[in-house]
Structure 1
Amino acid sequence: MDVVDAHCHIISEDPAAYPKAPIGGKQSEWAATRPVTAEGMISRMDETGIAQSVLVQATTHYGYDNSYVLDSCRSRPERFVAVGTVDPLRPDAAANLKATVGAGGLAGVRLFTSGSTVPTQGEWFVAPETFPFWEQAGELELPVCLQMRLGPATAQLVELLERFPGVKVLLDHIGYPDIAASPARAGAEVAELAAHPGLHLKLTHRNLERLRDAGEQAWDFLGPVVEAFGAQRIAWGSNCPAAEQSLPELLALAREVLAGLPERDRQEIFAGTARRLYPSLGDHES
């Protein structure tokens, strides 16, 4: 089966060429203890049987400096596309966004509003100052990965999706729904968001581990979510090396949890959705 990893991170061994500059000034633990270079990622992909990957900026290591993911994609365009972190609050955000895409540029962008080093959920991603950014992203048909936590900020997400229905928003880690507390309740909350056609889901180990632990109740989440969104709006990402498991283990986890889905749905989740979101991947399909 064709596999595209829609979410992995790389870190250079050359801090002089690619200096550390984490958002908020705090480096993530995984970036310090188990970094993987672009070359190392290719080795892991080959070991796992993964054709291509989306290099998502390691925001908690490089902040807004996307040099390393861009350089890595330019050197191996048959294996990688780049998603870089940007600041949509910049007065020149729209012009800057337009300048970063295209041949040899970013295939998508990421807004980092919450995470292990940013525990307080930011709601600035829908501030009026960001509207030119969102308008430009829509005009460019550029996917925007949104790292956020569902909950109090879900209202802001809905506001964004309603205001900019043409923008493709890819919700990292599905917004960390609380599957462990109640797969059914979490599934219903996520499925409700499918009413917004621009919203896509990125399924990673942060969700898959909870679903594996839920056993048969995993389908109380997966059933309504897949039915509401369709597999065509769900993409798998490993989150390697932020995840502690190896890349083969992360892919095996996904295959185990999703084994009950029809093959056509698994094909979409493991590759088809990513290839539509990032058309340049299709130019190098193996």
Structure 2
Amino acid sequence: MDIVDAHCHIISEDRTGYPEAPLGGKQSKWAATRPVTAEGMVSRMDETGIGQAVLVQATTHYGYDNSYVLDSSRHRPERFVAVGTVDPLRPEAAADLRAAVGEGGLAGVRLFTSGSTVPTQGEWFVAPETFPFWEQAGELGLPVCLQMRLGPATGQLVELLERFPGVQVLLDHIGYPDIEASPARAGAEVAALAAHPGLHLKLTHRNLERLLDAGEQAGDFLGPVVGAFGAERIAWGSNCPAAEQTMPELLDLARKVLAGLPERDQQEIFAGTARRLYPSLGGYGS
């Protein structure tokens, strides 16, 4: 099966050439304890049978300095594309974004509004100051990975999707829906967002672990979500090495949870969606 990892992180051993500059000054624990270089990622991919990967900027290690993901994707364009980070609140954000794409440039961009080092959900991603950034992303056809938590900020997400319907938004970790509390309720809440055609979902171990724990009730989440979005708007990502498991274990987890889906849907989730979002990956077997 063709497999593209839509969400992994790399960190260089060269701390002088690629200095630490985490957002908010706080580094993720995983970045300090189990970093993986670009070459190390290739080894893990080869071990797992993963052909290509999307290098998502390690925002909690490098902040807005995209040098390492860009250099790595330029060095191994047959294996990687780069998703970097910009500050959409800067007056120059749209120009920065335009300058960062193109041949050998960013294939996508990421906004980190909540996570392990940012426990309070930021709502700045839909502030009026960000509108030029979103307009530019739409004009460029550049996917925007949005790391946020569904809940109180879901209204801001909907506002964003309605204001910029032409932008492709890829919701990291599906916005951390509360599958553990109720797979059915979480599935209904996520499925309702499918009304916005620009929204895509990134399925990772953050969701898959909860679905595995849910057992037969996992279908109460997967059924409505896949039914509403279609597999062609869902992409799998390992989140290696932020995840504690090995890459083979992460892929096995995904295969186990998604085993009940039709083979075509699995192929879309494991590769097809990522290839459409990031055309520079090329086609199957390229």
Fold-level match, TM-score > 0.5?
yes
Q: Is the 8 A contact 2:2 2:284 kept in 1?
A: no
- Tell me what 1:51 maps to: 51
Structure 1 residue 211 displacement after superposition? 0.1
Structure 1 residue 42 displacement after superposition? 0.1
AA in 2 matched with 1:28: S
- Tell me what 2:170 maps to: 170
- Tell me what 1:121 maps to: 121
Task: Name segments (4+ residues, structure 1) moved above 2 Å.
Answer: 283-286
- Tell me what 1:241 maps to: 241
Query: CA-to-partner distance for each residue in 1:231-282, whole Å, 9 max, x for gaps?
Result: 0000000000000000000000000000000000000000000000000001
Q: Say if 2:274 is the partner of 1:274.
A: yes
- Tell me what 1:105 maps to: 105
Q: Is the 8 A contact 1:79 1:284 kept in 2?
A: no
Q: Is the 8 A contact 1:177 1:186 kept in 2?
A: yes
For residues 133 and 275 of structure 2, the distance between their equivalents in structure 1, rounded to whole angstroms, comes to: 24
1:110 partner SS:
strand
- Tell me what 1:201 maps to: 201
For residues 135 and 167 of structure 1, the distance between their equivalents in structure 2, rounded to whole angstroms, comes to: 8
Q: Tell me, which stretches of 5 or more residues in structure 1 are unaligned? A: none
For residues 218 and 282 of structure 1, the distance between their equivalents in structure 2, rounded to whole angstroms, comes to: 33
Alignment CA distance shift 1:284-1:67 (3 Å): farther
For residues 267 and 188 of structure 1, the distance between their equivalents in structure 2, rounded to whole angstroms, comes to: 24
Query: CA-to-partner distance for each residue in 1:114-145, whole Å, 9 max, x for gaps?
Result: 00000000000000000000000000000000
Q: Is the 8 A contact 2:275 2:283 kept in 1?
A: no
For residues 284 and 177 of structure 1, the distance between their equivalents in structure 2, rounded to whole angstroms, comes to: 31
AA in 2 matched with 1:259: A
For residues 34 and 211 of structure 1, the distance between their equivalents in structure 2, rounded to whole angstroms, comes to: 25
For residues 27 and 133 of structure 2, the distance between their equivalents in structure 1, rounded to whole angstroms, comes to: 27
For residues 281 and 93 of structure 2, the distance between their equivalents in structure 1, rounded to whole angstroms, comes to: 26
AA in 1 matched with 2:19: P
For residues 263 and 50 of structure 2, the distance between their equivalents in structure 1, rounded to whole angstroms, comes to: 17
AA in 2 matched with 1:187: G
Structure 1 residue 284 displacement after superposition? 7.6
Q: Is the 8 A contact 1:78 1:284 kept in 2?
A: no
Structure 1 residue 155 displacement after superposition? 0.2
Alignment CA distance shift 1:65-1:284 (3 Å): farther
Size of the alignment, in residue pairs? Answer: 286
Q: Is the 8 A contact 2:64 2:85 kept in 1?
A: yes
Q: Is the 8 A contact 2:69 2:84 kept in 1?
A: yes
Query: CA-to-partner distance for each residue in 1:63-99, whole Å, 9 max, x for gaps?
Result: 0000000000000000000000110001011011000
AA in 1 matched with 2:141: E
For residues 30 and 181 of structure 1, the distance between their equivalents in structure 2, rounded to whole angstroms, comes to: 26
- Tell me what 1:14 maps to: 14
Q: Is the 8 A contact 1:170 1:199 kept in 2?
A: yes
For residues 82 and 107 of structure 1, the distance between their equivalents in structure 2, rounded to whole angstroms, comes to: 6
Q: Is the 8 A contact 2:27 2:61 kept in 1?
A: yes
Structure 1 residue 283 displacement after superposition? 5.6
Q: Is the 8 A contact 2:84 2:106 kept in 1?
A: yes
Structure 1 residue 103 displacement after superposition? 0.5
AA in 1 matched with 2:196: H
For residues 3 and 233 of structure 2, the distance between their equivalents in structure 1, rounded to whole angstroms, comes to: 16
Q: Is the 8 A contact 2:88 2:133 kept in 1?
A: yes
AA in 2 matched with 1:210: R
Q: Is the 8 A contact 2:240 2:247 kept in 1?
A: yes
Q: Say if 2:139 is the partner of 1:139.
A: yes
Q: Is the 8 A contact 1:146 1:169 kept in 2?
A: yes
Structure 1 residue 285 displacement after superposition? 3.6
Cα RMSD between the aligned structures?
0.7
TM-score with structure 1 length normalisation? Answer: 0.99
- Tell me what 2:261 maps to: 261
For residues 141 and 216 of structure 1, the distance between their equivalents in structure 2, rounded to whole angstroms, comes to: 38
- Tell me what 1:38 maps to: 38
Query: CA-to-partner distance for each residue in 1:137-175, whole Å, 9 max, x for gaps?
Result: 000000000000000000000000000000000000000
